[in-house]
Structure 1
Amino acid sequence: MSTYTAEIAWALKPGEDFAKGRYGRGHSIAFDGGVTVPGSASPHVVGKWAVAEAVDPEEMLVAALSACHMLTFLHRARLAGFTVAAYRDRAEGVMAEIAPGRQAVTRVTLHPEIAWTGAAPDPEALAGLHHAAHEECFIANSVRTEVVVA
């Protein structure tokens, strides 16, 4: 079993009014490898109280699914005898209402663009590699969100 940690830190700033909801949602997210990134609630959720330049939880979920799929795909492609020269994805998550007053990221669509060195897999083999990557991706196995490779 493995354990993963992240430390989230937020503090009320002078002049903000917590009781009235008038406070910044900006915070820091420190990962166990030493990287710290600015975090915030999504501007779609809290408007002006968000930090647009920071990463929000919904974006992190989409990025985690995309990165996990990519890393697993690279492994599966290598095992199948293919060589990937570059991999790029423009992943997109969709938030939808799942019950009155409840929302969730219900669908994440991956749009991988892959450059190959040497022989590239045919469409059927490529689909098989993506399927295997999806089945093995730890993050995809951890969520109920529909994950689609376009």
Structure 2
Amino acid sequence: MKSHHYQTTIQWTGNLGKGTSNYKAYNRNHTITANHKIDSILASSDPSFLGDKTRYNPEELLLSSISSCHMLWYLHLCATHNITVLNYTDQAEGTMQENKDGSGQFTSVTLHPKVVIKEASMIAQANTLHHQANKMCFIARSCNFPILHDAFAETSPSQD
């Protein structure tokens, strides 16, 4: 069996001069980098947890990882099934439940892929391939909560 290893670096940039001397003495800002990547991802905690709303938070990054992995598998499956995808957009949504002790967990994610394909005759199969993509997605297979799909495929008006 083949193994793949990944490494990222998280660098906290939120020391305001007093470190973590108290809960409000620091901000949650940090950068996410990976070897051989040009840019860093600017990140923080969710604003509900005193984070910077202009930066990505871990929950958004998890959601975008699920959406991205699904899309990559879906495009692969479309290519192998001779379905020409012209455009793909997903407005993914996730729900995290916070517990009384401050811990929490995602309870569900719903992907909303809107796909434009070349041939109208392939719409039904294009919609069905989302289920197979979910079964193949490395990230989705690693999650312990449901990942649902509200997928919609259509042809471009110029393709009709």
TM-score past 0.5 threshold: yes
Q: Which runs of 5+ in 1 are unaligned?
A: none
Q: Name the counterpart of 1:69.
A: 70
Stretches of 4+ moved more than 3 A in 1?
none
Rounded Cα–Cα distance in structure 2 between residues aligned with 1:43 and 1:141: 29
Rounded Cα–Cα distance in structure 2 between residues aligned with 1:131 and 1:149: 8
User: Deviation at 1:122?
Assistant: 3.8
Q: Which amino acid aligns with 1:39?
A: A
Q: Name the counterpart of 2:20.
A: 18
Q: Name the counterpart of 1:43.
A: 47
Rounded Cα–Cα distance in structure 2 between residues aligned with 1:31 and 1:91: 24
- How many residues align structurally? 144
Q: Which amino acid aligns with 1:73?
A: Y
| Contact 2:93–2:110 under 8 Å retained in 1 | yes
Q: Name the counterpart of 2:153.
A: none
Q: Deviations over 1:102-131 (max 9, x none)?
A: 3111111000000112345243x2343011
User: Deviation at 1:142?
Assistant: 1.1
Q: Which runs of 5+ in 2 are unaligned?
A: 151-160
- 1:52 matched to 2:53? The reply is yes
Q: Name the counterpart of 2:142.
A: 142
Identity between Structure 1 and Structure 2 (%):
31
Q: What is the TM-score normalised by the length of structure 2? A: 0.83
Q: What is the TM-score normalised by the length of structure 1? A: 0.88
